[in-house]
A and B are shown apart, each in its own frame.
Chain A
């Protein structure tokens, strides 16, 4: 459980985080989402006691991070995978962290195995690729077998196999009843991992919602129809209050049959403000043959951009003045 109350962080005249309040619950993966420079990392740094908030407070398990008696046992964090000293062997890096919290040496070998770095345990960290460094960072976060996991862009630099592994790791940790906070600027990544979303832009909270709600509320539904009687159906739908466009765009997410001439197919229409069931019923009632009836969702990426557009626009206007 991580709780923030009215967090504010100012660097000189720049407001990085502005009156942020949230609570992050255990048993689920909470995605921390926002465009670059939105204040995600600053917020995480305040949670971890690296930066002192200008105003407000944040607690982990009811205590401020600096007051935790065994920090690594309670919170595992990965902020910057490259924040290691290159001259030190991977195993020694983990060992010095383990020692600082009285974690036994055997756990070091265990986490090296978990992240798949046991073969390079004796290599110095400066020779590590970004992907290996991420794994080492995740290993250090897991050392204390913590109840709270905080990961800042953990899939950066990982290969598809690694990305899948991190997702599985986060899901497993959450299923185990732990609190998992993961930041990203990629909605598509969050969509596959997070149960709950915290969206910030320009340091302000834009949305605090479950993933399902977010998908429902921000998705633009439209229906892609292919029919030899498309013109007739279009008239019927308009009469029923829907908006109909010529199907000059093939549905990006469902276009297996769209050939090169899809853009000009007169048989394809796109209907909004009416769901696929209603379109289907309407067609059946009037004996219209349908070849394709596909509900289309705006991608989550688009929904996210829609949601954060205000903060980005504000930024642009502010710069222009």
Chain B
């Protein structure tokens, strides 16, 4: 605590000067993400609930399979059933993604962050990339475990899927991709709205609730929503069975990515222009 230890401006130290890079910002955001407890709990919830829910739904529907109608048997998608947990996992991802940036606004940390990294686009990009990467890994672990657990539970009661079947590997990997896209959307929405509660509520509403409400609408309204609503379209990548009024997996995921890109661009523009 003495003044003498402060001065460390030897020529060696000054020579070690180098420009801060995007990689530095990525490492910084990684430290931020791993150093708060909410991250651990939200991701644990994602994995545990994702696998457990998938297992329960797989077991229950497989036991009911014998009593299914012919139409229901024709649309039987053992892969999609085992991935049902993704629906609950995405709640945790949305909350965590929005909070990852909006909690910096509510605490004032954002000012410290932007003083450290005044090139603001880097902060948003690094946050999105780090969180999407972590979500992708967690999502893939969840989806693969859920798939194999689910198929084991389905086996013997209903037709099961194998990872080598057409479209199955894509659907399982797609679960992680869908969650990663949702992760970027959540971070961007958090940057756009800045208030944690508003950010979580809006993202939940747009991504998850509105498409469900649309199910109550007449067909002429419901079908385009099911087909083109970004998160609905994006989730096609997680299913093997192709139902009516839905896009193909990759085009559907493309629609979602386009929507994410638009929200991201808005967030980037506003972050750059607004006073912090």
B7 engages A176 (CB within 8 Å): yes
Q: How far in angstroms is the closest Cβ of chain A from B134? A: 15
Q: Are A169 and B6 in contact (CB under 8 A)?
A: yes
Judge whether A83 and B3 touch: CB under 8 Å: no
Q: Is B197 an interface residue, CB under 8 A from the partner?
A: no
User: A69 contacts which chain B residues (CB < 8 A)?
Assistant: 19-20
- Report the minimal beta-carbon distance from A40 to chain B, rounded to whole angstroms: 15
A14 in contact (CB, < 8 A): no
B27: min CB distance to chain A, Å: 4
Q: Which of A51, A85, A115 contacts B107 (CB 8 A)?
A: A85
Q: Would B31 and A114 count as touching, CB distance under 8 A? A: no
Cα A114 to Cα B5 in complex, Å, equals 7
* CB within 8 Å for A116 and B1 given contacts A69-B20, A92-B35: yes
Contact (Cβ within 8 A) A83 B109 = yes
Binds B, one of A99-107, A208-216, A246-254: A99-107
- What chain A residues lie within 8 Å of B1 (beta carbons)? 113-116, 165
CA distance A101 to B35 in the complex (A): 18
Whether B114 is near chain A, meaning CB under 8 Å from some CB there, is yes
Min Cβ gap A10→B in Å is 11
Considering the chains assembled together, what is the distance between the CA atoms of A36 and B31 in angstroms? 37
A79 touching B115 by the CB < 8 A rule?
yes
Give Cα A168–Cα B36 distance, bound, in whole angstroms.
34
Chain A residues positioned under 8 Å from B35 (CB to CB)? 88-89, 92-93, 95-96
The size class of the interface chain A forms with chain B is 35 or more
CB distance from A149 to the nearest CB of B (A): 10
With a cutoff of 8 Å between Cβ atoms, the chain A residues found around residue B38 in the complex are 87
Q: Decide if B266 is an interface residue (CB 8 Å cutoff).
A: no
Task: Pick out which of these stretches binds chain B: A70-78, A193-201, A313-321.
Answer: A70-78
* Beta-carbon contact of A97 and B28 below 8 Å: yes
Q: Say whether B117 contacts A84, CB under 8 Å.
A: no
What mask results when residues 88 to 108 of chain B are scored 1 for a CB within 8 Å of chain A, else 0?
Answer: 000000000000000110011
Residue on A with the closest CB to B36?
A: A87
Asked if B275 contacts A100 (CB within 8 A), the reply is no
Q: How far is the CA of A251 from the CA of B79 in the complex (A)?
A: 90
A99-B31 contact, Cβ under 8 Å, with A70-B19, A85-B109, A87-B36: yes
- Considering the chains assembled together, what is the distance between the CA atoms of A227 and B241 in angstroms? 108
Check: A82 CB closer than 8 A to any chain B CB. Answer: yes
The contact of B9 among A83, A93, A113, A145, by CB within 8 Å, is A145
Q: In the docked arrangement, what's the CA distance between A279 and B8, Å? A: 52
Which among A66, A68, A79, A171 is the interface contact of B3 at CB below 8 angstroms?
Answer: A171
For residue A52, CB closer than 8 A to chain B, the reply is yes
B245 lies within 8 A of chain A by Cβ: no
Complex interface: chain B residues within 8 A of A79 (CB): 111-112, 115
Contact assessment for A142 and B6 in the assembled complex, using a CB-CB cutoff below 8 Å: yes
Give chain A nearest CB distance to B241 CB in angstroms.
43
- The CA-CA distance from A114 to B1 in the complex, in Å, is 5
Provide the bound-state CA to CA distance between A97 and B151, in Å: 46
Which chain B positions have C-beta within 8 A of A80? 108, 111
Chain B contacts of A93 at CB under 8 A? Answer: 35
Q: A96-B28, A145-B8, A171-B3 are in contact. Are A70 and B18 (CB under 8 A)?
A: yes
Q: How far is the CA of A13 from the CA of B169 in the complex (A)?
A: 60
Q: Which B residues touch A38, using CB under 8 A?
A: none
- By a CB distance below 8 angstroms, the chain A residues around B117 are 71, 100-101
List residues of chain B with CB within 8 A of the CB of A176.
Answer: 6-7, 9
Please name all residues of chain A whose beta carbon is closer than 8 Å to the beta carbon of B4 when the two chains form the complex.
Answer: 172
The verdict on A304 contacting chain B, using a C-beta distance below 8 Å, is: no
Please tell me if the beta carbons of A101 and B108 are within 8 angstroms of each other in the complex. Answer: no
Residues of chain A within 8 A (CB-CB) of B107 are 83-86
Q: Taking CB as reference atom, which chain B residue is nearest A72?
A: B116
Q: What 6 pairs between A and B have smallest CB-CB spacing?
A: A83-B108, A69-B19, A100-B28, A92-B35, A172-B3, A96-B31
24 inter-chain pairs at a CB distance below 8 angstroms, sorted by A residue, are A45-B275, A69-B20, A70-B17, A71-B115, A71-B116, A71-B117, A71-B118, A80-B111, A83-B112, A84-B108, A85-B36, A88-B32, A92-B35, A96-B29, A100-B117, A101-B116, A102-B18, A116-B1, A140-B112, A165-B1, A172-B4, A173-B6, A176-B7, A176-B9
Which chain B residues have a beta carbon within 8 Å of chain A's beta carbons? 1, 3-9, 13, 17-21, 24-25, 27-32, 35-38, 103-104, 107-109, 111-119, 273, 275-276
With A101-B117, A176-B7 given, can you name 7 additional A-B contacts, CB distance below 8 Å?
Answer: A48-B118, A49-B118, A71-B115, A72-B116, A85-B109, A96-B28, A176-B6
